[in-house]
Structure 1
Amino acid sequence: MDKKIQEIKEAHAKMENADLDWGLSILRDYISYLLQQIEIKDKALEFYADEDKYSVDIEVNLEPVLEDCGFMARTALKGEDTP
């Protein structure tokens, strides 16, 4: 994970327990949402970045990436997580 994103995650975790006024509370919610979206997109990128996903399985004769047909990417772009 990116160093700056990790820094944001740590700062966000500290904010979770703080007694904040309404404005900062909304910012905390926004940050939480953005971090969730980053994790969803990272998961999809890790799937496609895995070189093992591009090797052909002789028994099935399909590469996992070809079998996926971009489903994970489309799902991540909608902001949804995959199982």
Structure 2
Amino acid sequence: MDKIQKIRKAHEATKRSLAEGRNIAFTAKAVIEPIEYLLQQIEIKDKALEFYADQDNYDEYDLGLVDVDRGNRARAALKGEDTP
């Protein structure tokens, strides 16, 4: 199970507990770590999307950067890996 799936599972369990009226004690670490991880993943995916959204990376008459990249940035971002 990857980290996002673990965060999602913990989130669902917390929502169920709150809906059932149970008191839940949180530590700062338990709240901050998943948020920091998710923010990092958003930044990685935003960076890849910005690359593909930038029209300067396309060339109508020649191979543009997007053609050369062949989706490598997107695949890396989906794995949660940062790209240059």
Q: Does the alignment reach a TM-score above 0.5?
A: yes
Letter in 2 for 1:62: L
Identity %: 58
Does residue 43 (structure 1) correspond to residue 42 (structure 2)? The answer is no
Q: Which runs of 4+ in 1 moved over 4 A?
A: none
Counterpart Cα distance in 1 of 2:27 and 2:76: 31
**TM-score, length-scaled by structure 2:** 0.64
Q: Which runs of 5+ in 1 are unaligned?
A: 1-20
Partner of 1:28: 32
Does residue 55 (structure 1) correspond to residue 56 (structure 2)? The answer is no
Q: Which runs of 5+ in 2 are unaligned?
A: 1-24
Q: CA deviation at 1:24?
A: 2.6
Count residues in correspondence.
60
Which structure would you say has the larger Rg? 2
1:15-69, Cα deviation, whole Å (9 max, x unpaired): xxxxxx862311100000000000000000000000011125x7xx311100000
Partner of 2:82: 81
Letter in 2 for 1:70: G
**TM-score, length-scaled by structure 1:** 0.65
